[in-house]
Amino acid sequence: MRVRDLQTPSLIVDAGLLDRNIQTMSRALPGPKLRPHVKAHKCTSLAGLQSKAGHRAFTCATVREVEGMAAAGLGEDLLLANEVLDTARLAKLDARVTVAVDSEETIKAAADGGVAEVLIDINVGVPRCGCAPEDAGRLADLARSRGLAVRGVMGYEGHIVGLEDRTQRNALIGDSMEALIKAHEEVGGDVVSAGGTGTYDINTWATEIQAGSYALMDTAYAKLDLPFEKAITVLGTVISKSSDYMVANCGLKCFGMDHGNPEIEGGHQVWFLSDEHITFSSSADLDIGDLIRVYPAHIDPTVAYHQQIHVVREEEVLDVWEVDLRGW
């Protein structure tokens, strides 16, 4: 099948760019140095490529992601890097599952639900999950007293990973990771899990990096000085045309919009999106029926809208992957 023959809108990934992104990351962070985050692609076929590249341990954000990875035979070492109270589904899985905990309640839920291993989740600067660093030792003791194995700590420097200026990222990461290391001293265990695509090469404190976006990328991460290329686009068809603007059939239900408008390949000017439309102007002479490729601003909530990813090389469709980790 040719790209031309795909129904639109469709999510398409460039096989060559995806492969290059995966290889670039694997050279920088081989094997267990990287724990790829599946929330960015929600696709076990893509996780399979990351596994083939040497990464056997994965990061998940939802119980559904853990379940799907286990079912796909990728459950060698799954970290649910998120707090969860409904732990019953996790204990049933044929997989090694470690869960983040940051409170007495989440420790109790892990123990009651039959989870065997946990990481203590530390707040390293993002007002989200994670306990205060000074509370980490107490929680680790509590977890062990409840029969849980404490593998170490995690902390996500989410306030730093997206900063476009590398010197800014460098300036801030030290304080953030020193808090994590201090907590780790109190907690013990082998694992210091942290980092993301924006800090994969400057976070030298973590024993493993939880990067996810590097494989597919988006326009937000493309503004950083990273060696990863935008590999995924939404394919749309021009369906209407006036003297000033054109309209294609990919809209708000195709793109996570929290980072703003997506960008159209070829420098067309995006005006706005509606539920099923993108209105744009262009100096190029596009006709009704022509295809456009649109780069998402934020990959994670974009992929979550789509059922499939089409793998293409040039104009050929090589494969169709299910986005099989959607939902919760």
Residue 22: name the closest of 216, 195, 161 by CA: 216
C-alpha 192/C-alpha 205 separation (Å) is: 8
Q: Quick one: which of 43, 273, 294, 311 contacts a second copy (CB under 8 A)? A: 273
Question: Would you tell me the crossing angle of helices 44-52 and 15-28 to the nearest 10 degrees?
Answer: 50
Which residue number, 176 or 249, has a Cβ lying nearer to a second copy? 249
256 touches a second copy (CB under 8 A): yes
282 touches a second copy (CB under 8 A): no
DSSP classification of residue 313: E
237 touches a second copy (CB under 8 A): yes
C-alpha 100/C-alpha 115 separation (Å) is: 11
Amino acid at 166: R
Ordered DSSP codes for 237-304: EEEEE-SS-EEES--TTTS--TT---EETTS-EEEEEETTEEEEE-SS---TT-EEEEE-SSHHHHHT
Q: Quick one: which of 96, 172, 305, 322 contacts a second copy (CB under 8 A)? A: 305
Residue 200: name the closest of 218, 213, 185 by CA: 213
146 touches a second copy (CB under 8 A): no
Q: Quick one: which of 27, 92, 274, 319 contacts a second copy (CB under 8 A)? A: 274
92 touches a second copy (CB under 8 A): no
Which residue number, 102 or 157, has a Cβ lying nearer to a second copy? 102
In Å, how far are 153, 154, 199 from 183, measured between CA atoms? 7, 10, 20
Task: Pick out residues in 11-40 that bind a second copy (CB under 8 A).
Answer: 39
- The CB-of-137 to a second copy minimum distance in angstroms stands at 17
Residue 194: name the closest of 114, 119, 102, 277 by CA: 119
C-alpha 328/C-alpha 66 separation (Å) is: 10
244 touches a second copy (CB under 8 A): yes
- The CB-of-9 to a second copy minimum distance in angstroms stands at 6
Q: Quick one: which of 85, 91, 149, 284 contacts a second copy (CB under 8 A)? A: 85
Which residue number, 53 or 179, has a Cβ lying nearer to a second copy? 179
Q: Quick one: which of 71, 189, 271, 322 contacts a second copy (CB under 8 A)? A: 271
269 touches a second copy (CB under 8 A): no
Which residue number, 147 or 328, has a Cβ lying nearer to a second copy? 328
CA 192 to the chain's CA centroid:
19
4 touches a second copy (CB under 8 A): no
Ordered DSSP codes for 181-209: HHHHHHH-SSEEEE--GGGTTT--S-SEE
123 touches a second copy (CB under 8 A): yes
Footprint of a second copy on this chain (CB under 8 A)?
7-9, 39, 61-62, 82-86, 102-103, 105-106, 123, 127-130, 132, 158, 237, 239-242, 244-245, 247, 249, 252-253, 256-258, 271, 273-277, 279, 287-289, 298, 300-301, 304-305, 307, 326-328
